[in-house]
Structure 1
Amino acid sequence: MTSMAISTYLDSRPGIEVVPSEQLTPIDVVVIAAERLTVETSSTLRKVKATMDSPVVLILSETSRDDLVTAVECNVAAVLPREAATGDRIEHAVFTAADGGGFLSTSMLGELLKQFERVQREVLSPHGLHVSGLTPREIDVLRLMSHGLDTTEIADELCFSERAVKRVVSGVTGRLKLRNRPHAVAYALRMGVI
């Protein structure tokens, strides 16, 4: 489908209003069609993220694993290969993105998961980090805090000194700009590490 065909189709669907790209009204979802994720396309995606902070449905003729990571960094909520981008799928992707969800083909999802596994293995793990930005030691302390243990109990459980536990908590809250221990536990829960 061409960009014009996509616009025409979406504008004909109930619940969707297509507005010109230069219109300054709030936009719920941005749809971008491109051949590849070039530097220019990436720049456009970053500009959309910075100015509108709206989710993006990206339709590409060619994609690579690295393209998917760049797309995620640029607030892309849905990536559709052009050959599979039927009107119904585009409409579904637009509504999914508008509702805060994401949409990827199973092969693209597999590629994205492989890429994140590689980042964890090659970049984060060698530095003792997790995708959440927490070290295994910090995760252990936060897990025990979430169970209601105090500093002394955590130190006993992990065979640390109380001072080491306090340093871990202070390091996490300071580095991640968290207000206090409950905020640190809530962060770890949201990140899915405890």
Structure 2
Amino acid sequence: MNPIRVFVRTVDPLTSMAVGHYLGTRPGIEVVPAEASTPVDVVVVVAERLTVQVASTLRGLKANLNAPVIMILCETAREDLVTAVECNVVAVLPRAAARGERIEEAVRTAAEGGGLLPSSMLGELLKRFERLQREALSSDGLHSSGLTTREIDVLRLMSHGFDTSEIAEELNSSERAVKRVVSGVTGRLNLRNRPHAVAYALRMGAI
């Protein structure tokens, strides 16, 4: 089994030596020196906080190594999390609690494709992505169900028993346009027929 190749980057040489020495003594882990051209599996970055300079360093590491990053920080701010995730950070450890075993655990978890984020930061990240998703849907005229405003209007009237001509009259549209809306939504969302489309809209809370 190949060892986990780890690259350690810190602003303090003594810290770098301490972290690197500990990891280098653990079974199945190999610390890669800065000058080596060996592929890297995990990067460990130690810093006071996620400054603009540290973020720039992370982007450089992502471009050159493209490996998951573990950050050990003295100060963590929830607003920095999105930047960190964009830079391949998969684990954040408070420096005060970053003992050798915790760092080793984070390295092995990252190498297996996992992550370790504080629950408060993970909650903030989910809120950010939900907000971005809502903004993206809104800019495209879509409801969170994936339906457009026009499709929701048609399906709402359909749920009340309106036929095609009545829906067209209610929406000041043509029957052909109504049929096109229905065909579009059933085709795009892989729905079988009109009742299925209405059921989908109801289930998603769109109508």
TM-score, normalization: structure 1? 0.65
Moved segments of 4+, more than 4 Å: 162-170
How much has 1:50 moved relative to structure 2? 1.4
Distance 1:93 1:163, change over 3 A: same
In the alignment, what sits opposite 1:28?
A: 41
**Percent of aligned pairs with the same amino acid:** 57
Tell me the distance in 2 between the aligned counterparts of 1:71 and 1:166. 39
In the alignment, what sits opposite 1:14?
A: 27
Tell me the distance in 1 between the aligned counterparts of 2:182 and 2:60. 44
Q: Deviations over 1:43-65 (max 9, x none)?
A: 11111111221111111111111
Distance 1:125 1:104, change over 3 A: same
Instruction: Select 2:52's aligned residue among 39, 64, 68.
Output: 39
Matches within 5 A, 1:37-186: 37-121=50-134, 123-127=135-139, 128=141, 136-137=146-147, 161-162=179-180, 165=183
Distance 1:80 1:161, change over 3 A: farther
- Give yes or no for the alignment of 1:5 onto 2:18: yes
Tell me the distance in 1 between the aligned counterparts of 2:69 and 2:76. 16
Q: Which of the pair has more CA radius of gyration?
A: 2
Tell me the distance in 2 between the aligned counterparts of 1:165 and 1:64. 48
Distance 1:40 1:92, change over 3 A: same
> Which segments of 5 or more consecutive residues in structure 1 lack a partner in the other structure?
142-155, 173-180, 182-194
Distance 1:137 1:15, change over 3 A: same
Tell me the distance in 2 between the aligned counterparts of 1:7 and 1:84. 17
Q: Is the 8 A contact 1:78 1:104 kept in 2?
A: yes
One-letter identity of the residue aligned with 2:179: S
How much has 1:15 moved relative to structure 2? 0.7
Distance 1:168 1:57, change over 3 A: farther
Q: Is the 8 A contact 2:90 2:115 kept in 1?
A: yes
In the alignment, what sits opposite 1:178?
A: none
Distance 1:3 1:135, change over 3 A: farther
Distance 1:106 1:74, change over 3 A: same
How much has 1:81 moved relative to structure 2? 1.3
Tell me the secondary structure at the aligned position of residue 161 of structure 1: helix
Tell me the secondary structure at the aligned position of residue 137 of structure 1: coil
> Which segments of 5 or more consecutive residues in structure 2 lack a partner in the other structure?
1-13, 152-163, 168-177, 191-207
One-letter identity of the residue aligned with 2:16: S
Tell me the distance in 2 between the aligned counterparts of 1:129 and 1:53. 34
Tell me the distance in 1 between the aligned counterparts of 2:86 and 2:39. 21
